[in-house]
Amino acid sequence: MSDLTRTEIRNFIVENFLFGDDSRPLPDEMSLIDNDLVDSTGILELVGFLEEHFELKIADSDIVPANLDSIEKIVVFVRQKQAN
């Protein structure tokens, strides 16, 4: 199940921030912000997607790099939210 979560998150990022370019290397641990993959308005889009797709309620204080700055971090964050 978590593999599906990871795949869905990865697909969203590739579609919306790499504009479908899956030839670019995108390891799970790669910092999205540091590598200019996601910018300030992009984070809001990502949060919107996570809320809608995974039916989560995300607080402002959740919107921090520790939770969102790599595919791996997002997967962990989503799982934590789902467990609660």
Partner 1 sequence: MRIEEYLRNSTGKNGAKAALVADGRRMSYAEISDLSDRLAASLMERGVAKGDRVLVFMENTWEAAVSIFAVWKAGAVLCPTNPSVKAARLSFVIRDCRPTVVIAQGKLAGVVAEATANTQTVPQVILTAPHAALPEALDFEACLQGKPRPMPGGMSENDLAIIIYTSGSTGEPKGVMMAHSNMDAAAGSIVGYLENTADDIILNVLPMAFGYGLYQLLMSVRLGATLVLEKSFAFPAAILQRIRDERATGFPLVPSMVAMMLQMRDFDPSYLASLRYMTNAAAALPVAHLAQIRALLPHVRFYSMYGLTECTRATWLPPQELDRRPGSVGIAIPGTYAAVVDETGARVPAGVTGELVVSGPHLMLGYWENPEATKRALRPDPATGKIRLHTGDLFRTDAEGFLYFVARKDDIIKSRGEKVAPKEVEAVLYTLPGIVEAIVIGVPDPVLGQAVKALVVSSDPNLTEQEVIRHCARNLENFMVPKSVEFRASLPKTDSGKLSRRLAAAVPEQTGPDQ
**Residues forming the site for partner 1 (CB under 8 A):** 15, 18-21, 33-36, 38-44, 59-65, 68
Measured from the CB atom, is 8 or 62 closer to partner 1? 62
Measured from the CB atom, is 21 or 28 closer to partner 1? 21
CB of 1 to partner 1, least distance (A): 28
Measured from the CB atom, is 64 or 82 closer to partner 1? 64
Nearest to 72 by CA among 1, 15, 14, 9: 9
Q: Which residues contact 69 (CB under 8 A, 6 or more apart)?
A: 31, 32, 33, 34
CB of 4 to partner 1, least distance (A): 23
Give the chain's length. Answer: 84
Helix (H/G/I), strand (E/B), else coil: 67: helix
